[in-house]
Every structure is written in C-alpha cells, then in structure tokens.
Amino acid sequence: MKKLLLFSFILLFMACKEETKKVPELAEKQQAPKISVKDFFKNSEKRSFSLSPNGEYIAYLAPYKDRMNIHVRKFDSDAVTRVTSVEDRDLSGYFWANDDRLVFIRDEGGNENFHLFAVNKDGTNEKDLTPFDGVRSQIIDALEDNQDEMIIGLNKRIPQVFDPYRLDINSGALTLLYENPGNITGWQTDHDGKLRLAYVTNGVDNTIMYRATEADPFTEVITTDFKQTLTPQFFDFDNGDVVYAASNLGRDKAAIVKYDLKANKEIEEIFMDSEVDVDGISYSSKRKVPTFINYTRAKLNRKFLDAEAEKLFKMLEEKLGEDNQYYITSSNKDEDKFLIYAGNDKTRGAYHFYDKNTGTLKHMADLSPWINSDHMADMKPITYTSRDGMTIHGYLTLPVGVKAENLPVVVNPHGGPWARDNWGFNPEVQFLANRGYAVLQMNFRGSTGYGKQFWQSSFKKWGQEMQNDITDGVKWLIKEGIADEDRIAIYGGSYGGYATLAGITNTPDLYAAAVDYVGVSNLFTFMETIPPYWEPYKKMLYEMVGDPNTKDSIMMKANSPVFHVDKIKASLFIAQGANDPRVVQAESDQMVAALKENGITVEYMLKENEGHGFRNQENRFDFYNSMIEFLNKNMTTKVKG
C-alpha cells in the first residue's frame, strides 16, 4: 500500500467510542511508581522500520552514540549493518529508494534547511545529494518504479519558492523540470511520476493548475479563497483527468470526492462524516484500488472501500486486540509483506511483521520495552462548552490510582494553532500524570478537523476567543471538582507557548506556574521573521492572525504578551532553540528582557544546537527535569491579586 506522505505513517486507528461529557471515573488501580525522565524521553531501541521493495531487507533507526541512525539487516539474518554514523543530531527520516539504496534527510542544529542524502544498504557510497547552503529540500515524488531517480523541490534559485527537479540518487545530477514563476507553492505527479498539477497562490486565493501531459502547458482548473479547499490526493488509476480529492466546496465538513479536472466539476462524493473532516484516502499501488478513508473523532476511524484491506485490519484486531491503534508503516512492492505498528494511549507500541502468503504475524520489536503500560494513565476523550456555546473536544489524563478530586493540573494547549491533539501515547502527558498532575488538552477553536466554520472562527482571535476556550476548559475542571484552583499550571510549545504566555497575561489569577516552549511572544516580530518559504502565504497569515499594517495593529498589540508582562503573577519558565526558523530566538529573548525590566524573575533555557523543539535526547532530559522541578516548586501556592 503506497504511502501518501513520505516520513509519516498511514494512521489507522481502531473504531472509536463516542465522546462524552461525563467526567472520567477513576480506575481502581494502585498509584504508579515514579518513573524516570530518561525512561519517558530517551530514544527507542529500534523504531521506524521499513521493508526494502523486494521484501528481502529490513531497515530501522537505532541509537549510535545516542543518535538515531539507519541500520539494515537481511530479513532472515541476525547480522546487522549500521548504514549511517551521524553523531550531532538524530536523523529526521529515511526511506528505501530501491532495493540497494536508501535516502535520508537531515538538517544542521534544527535550522530545517533539510539536505537529502543517499547511501547504499551496506553503508558505502554515501552522498549529499543537495549540498547547497541555506537551501531546503522537499520530496515531491520518490518515483517508486524508478530505481535511480526521484523528483524533489529546491528553493536554491529563489529562497521564497521551490522549483521541481529530477534528481539522480547515485550521482546527484539535477534536471530542472519547470521554472517556478514565483507563485507556485506545490507540485503533484500522477502514478507514472509525471508532473501534472501545480498549486498557485496570491496569498489568499489558491488555484489548481493542470496539464494532461508534460508536453502541455498548465491551465487553470479552479480558483478559490484559501478557506475553500479542493485537495487532490491522487489520480485515478488510468492517469486521466480525474482525481480523488478532499473537498469542502459547498460543505462545512471536508469529504472525499472524485473530481474531473478537465471539466472542473465534482463527479462523485465517496464519503463524508457528519461530525468531522476526512483526513485522507489510501490506496493499493499493486491492485490499483482505493482502500480506506481516515477520519478522526475522539479517535481515528476508517471507512473501508476495499474488502482485502478491511480483512487485514480485522485480523489485526483479532490477534493483537481491539484496544490498539494500527499503522501500516511499510510494505514490499508485491504487497504481500507488511510492517505494522500496534499501540495505544498507554504504550509507545510495537512493530509486527505480517506475511500475507503464510498468514504469519510476528512480533519484531517494542519501541520502549522499559515502559510498563499498567503504570500509564488513560487518555479520556471529553467535551465541554465554551462561554459562547461552542463545543470543545479534548482529552483528560488523570494520575493512576489517585482520586479525581482537587488535583494539581497542567493545561496543555497544542501548537499550530491550525492542528489538533489526537488520542495516543504522549510521553509528556504520561510523564506529568506519573508525577501526580492531571493533564487537560483541548482542541480550541481553530483546531483542524472539525469543519470549516470551526476553523474560521479562530481568525484574528489569537489571545481572544481562542484563549477563552482554554480558560473555559480550566473553569470546567474546577467546577467538576477535579482541579485544585490554587494549583493550575499551563504549558505548551509553539502556538501552545503563545497560549501559555497569553494565559498568564490575560488571566493572571488563574495560573500558579507556566512553561513556554518555543512560543510566540510578539505578534509583530513573529510576522516579520517567518521563514522565506512562508512568504507566499503572508497575506493569508495577515487574514488569519492580523495585518500589522492596518488597524489590526491595535488588536495585535493588545494580544502580544510581551507588552503585558506587568500583569504576570505566575512563575514562568521559558525554553528555546537558538536555530528555530519558525519562532526565532528573539521571541523568547524579548520576553525575558521585558520581564527582567519589570523586576520579574524568569527561568530561561536556551539550547544552541536545537531548533523548533528539542530533538537531541540529552536536551530533552535537561528540559523535562528542569520543567518538573519548576512545576513542583511553584505549584504549592498561588499568588492572588
């Protein structure tokens, strides 16, 4: 089964139970023993397993000098070859380019200027395929049927835009396929690897451009504003004019449809859920059929379109349990051998090998065998109602073996903000629960997956209604008797870091402590320092966050925490990566400076070799050890106004 996105799993969760407004009841368990920071946050012994196209070899990431590197072994052998030997930073991802050669990506210190490398499965002939300083590589098509080439995007000609190239994975030779005129933000191929679609934007309006063959010019199919989406997933299997697409045209919830690009019309709605957007559709490359559609309520559901795929996952449920979530991480070209991940909210999970011909299902490796799932907490789906009547979905994780009353709480808003929290194992959440904290995660307005109207309700609402949704979740916990109102902290990364700072400036009496992890502090400087490849979307960001060149500037100043540090009463800990290209170091530096100017003490952790989040495990250990010490020290009492 072909992966729709490289370096990401196909998410295949078990059918979910309905969400509930009832407060989760405490399971009758003893309190869990204290588990070390290292056990929660150290690298797995083995992860990211992948089969070679012929199914004869298996690759995976495993530590070498505390960094995750590629290892390869023949499937029926115990002899392992370490293929890479990086020592500065874990590899970001890899895949098999053919039966003999692998491609991996890495950046320097978290700057996200990813280079593509190729290496033979025996560790020889490693080559940097994109040796260009300050250039970011992206993969357009791995060309699974082409042994020697792939199609990539590079912004080496103009930093703001990506041109598509055909890349020789042996020599590194590049062939420009199309010169980006400056407004194309994405490219898509058909099943034969032909460049057939281009995505154009003027910042707020998006256009799909199409051509029947590579000899034809691109012509416009449809133009919509960015709130209306038609997102082709893949071409129909005859490589004609029809695509399978996710669409919210004329709908609030995105559906999977078939769309005729030449005629510019939807010809069939395949599936739409009444509550949430579809996530995507998968297909079999070998059998040339769509297999299932993913959509996420409290957990990820799937709508099967193919009996063979449905049979596979029913078998997994029967043999590995209904409480698990399942991912197909890899298959061979013949689609008769599969690597499958199985896990849930209380375990990092395990890899299994399935042989379709023999019906054999074999355990391969546990990601964190040192974690005892009996000591982990349940991640319970919840809902509550915001002050203006909007239903907010989220998750509540309670400490094991502790009565759900008068607990210290860590409120954990997600990043994005146009993303969402999902059900599954979260080491941060489990770590905090293990230390006695209840953890509340909420998909505040603007979170993706809940339809167009819910998403748009967040526009220009940073620090306002979006923040109210977070505050209302805290008040709901207090009202339910779960939270001790004097022991509430807020912690988040990226936008979640912004929400943390907005929380302690907007509602200073609500929180005793706060942890801002690579968060935005100043909406003006944030908009000025976005990466160059985000420039085409700047007008869209102006509409979604605010335009500093208009009267929005008043609103933006009112909702930039750096200008309101005098209101802060909570203790604050800030962590930042020096190489972060998205939320630059200046966002944290100016917040720390403003606090010191007002005589407020702040703890500040700056990691010189990190970017937007800490990848190296020693930095993770340092951060979470410092965070829990900070929370424990500052969550005993709260300063009242």
Catalytic residue, candidates 44, 282, 494, 560: 494
Strand order in the sheet with 93-96: 93-96, 101-106, 115-120, 127-128
Q: Contact 71/60 with Cβ under 8 angstroms?
A: yes
Residue length of the chain: 641
Cα 484 to Cα 408: distance, rounded to the nearest angstrom: 6
Catalytic residue, candidates 163, 279, 484, 580: 580
Q: How many CB atoms lie within 10 A of CB 434?
A: 23
Locate 55 and state its tokens. Answer: 């199914």
Cα 288 to Cα 128: distance, rounded to the nearest angstrom: 34
DSSP assigned state of 286: T
Cα 103 to Cα 72: distance, rounded to the nearest angstrom: 13
- Is the alpha carbon torsion for 498, 501, 505, 509 positive or negative? positive
Cα 521 to Cα 462: distance, rounded to the nearest angstrom: 11
Cα 255 to Cα 257: distance, rounded to the nearest angstrom: 6
Smallest CA-to-CA distance from 201 within 185, 222, 188 is with 185
Smallest CA-to-CA distance from 289 within 310, 314, 259 is with 310
Our CA angle for 186, 189, 190, nearest 5°, is 150
Cα 516 to Cα 276: distance, rounded to the nearest angstrom: 30
pLDDT digits (tens, 9 = 90+) for 256-287: 999 999 999 999 999 999 999 999 999 999 99
Smallest CA-to-CA distance from 247 within 264, 263, 195 is with 264
494 noted as active-site residue: yes
pLDDT at 637: 53
Which parts of 184-299 are beta strand (E)?
A: 184-189, 195-201, 205-210, 219-225, 230-235, 242-247, 255-260, 265-271, 278-284, 289-296
**Could you tell me whether strands 115-120 and 127-128 are parallel, antiparallel, or unpaired per DSSP bridges?**
antiparallel
Q: Contact 573/626 with Cβ under 8 angstroms?
A: yes
Torsion of CA 234, 240, 242, 243, to 10 degrees: 0
Catalytic residue, candidates 191, 352, 564, 612: 612
241 noted as active-site residue: no
Phi and psi based region of residue 436 (left: phi greater than 0; alpha: psi -120 to 50; beta: remaining): left
Q: Contact 211/218 with Cβ under 8 angstroms?
A: yes
Cα 84 to Cα 68: distance, rounded to the nearest angstrom: 9
Residue with tokens 């090998």: 353
pLDDT at 51: 97
Locate 449 and state its tokens. Answer: 């997956």
Phi, psi of 90 (to 5 degrees): -55, 145
Residue with tokens 């509409």: 543
Would the pTM of this model clear 0.85, i.e. be above it? yes
Q: Name the burial class of residue 215, with classes exposed (0-12), middle (13-18) and buried (19+) by CB atoms within 10 angstroms of its CB.
A: exposed
Q: How many CB atoms lie within 10 A of CB 358?
A: 10
Locate 314 and state its tokens. Answer: 């029913």
Q: Contact 261/243 with Cβ under 8 angstroms?
A: yes
Domain 379-634 has CATH 1.20.120.420: no
pLDDT at 534: 87
Our CA angle for 529, 228, 139, nearest 5°, is 55
Q: How many CB atoms lie within 10 A of CB 419?
A: 16
pLDDT at 468: 98
pLDDT at 36: 97
pLDDT digits (tens, 9 = 90+) for 134-154: 999 999 999 999 999 999 999
pLDDT at 10: 27
Ranges of the chain whose pLDDT falls below 70: 1-28, 637-641
pLDDT at 125: 96
pLDDT at 28: 58
